[in-house]
Amino acid sequence: MTVTSQQSFKAIFRVIDAHDHPHGGRILRLRLRKGEALTLSELKGGDLVATPGNGTEVRVKAKGFAVFGGKLSDRRLARSGRVDIHATGQGVQEVDVGWQLRGPA
């Protein structure tokens, strides 16, 4: 699903790694680039807008989190600026390294 928007977002993340999830969707490793770190409750179930930088936008949903390096917390996300999400939605398979995710949408 392609969307176009001119709204402001609380946070902008860069995709630093992306893998297919075995049960559908993608695992996206994100690094906070601008704005303030979101809370886990703001991210989980939230809509994000993904863009490769060429004007195309894809709306994805953060279904949950991938926990690869220990327990995730709001404090850890604010300190490190990194989070791994399980993203779903039409067009999510296109999202890859270098894309930006903005949200919440």
What's the pLDDT tens digit per position in 48-65? 999 998 989 999 999 999
Q: For 52-56, 66-70, 75-79, which range has the lowest pLDDT when averaged over its residues?
A: 66-70
Give residue 53's pLDDT: 86
Task: Give me the CATH topology for the region 11-103.
Answer: Elongation Factor Tu (Ef-tu); domain 3 (2.40.30)
Give residue 7's pLDDT: 63
Spatial separation of the C-alpha atoms in residues 51 and 96, rounded to whole Å: 10
Domain ranges of the chain: 11-103
Spatial separation of the C-alpha atoms in residues 100 and 32, rounded to whole Å: 10
pTM of the predicted protein model: 0.87
Question: Can you tell me which residue has the tokens 């996300």?
Answer: 77
Give residue 47's pLDDT: 93
Question: What band does 4 get if pLDDT is binned at 50, 70 and 90?
Answer: very low
Digit-coded pLDDT (tens) for 20-38: 998 899 999 999 999 988 9
| DSSP for 45-101, written as a single string | T-EEEEE-SSS--EEEEEEEE--SSS---HHHHHHH-EEEEEEESTTGGG--TT-EE
CA of residue 98 relative to chain centroid, distance: 12
Spatial separation of the C-alpha atoms in residues 76 and 15, rounded to whole Å: 18
**What radius of gyration, in Å, describes the C-alpha atoms of the chain?**
12
Spatial separation of the C-alpha atoms in residues 8 and 22, rounded to whole Å: 33
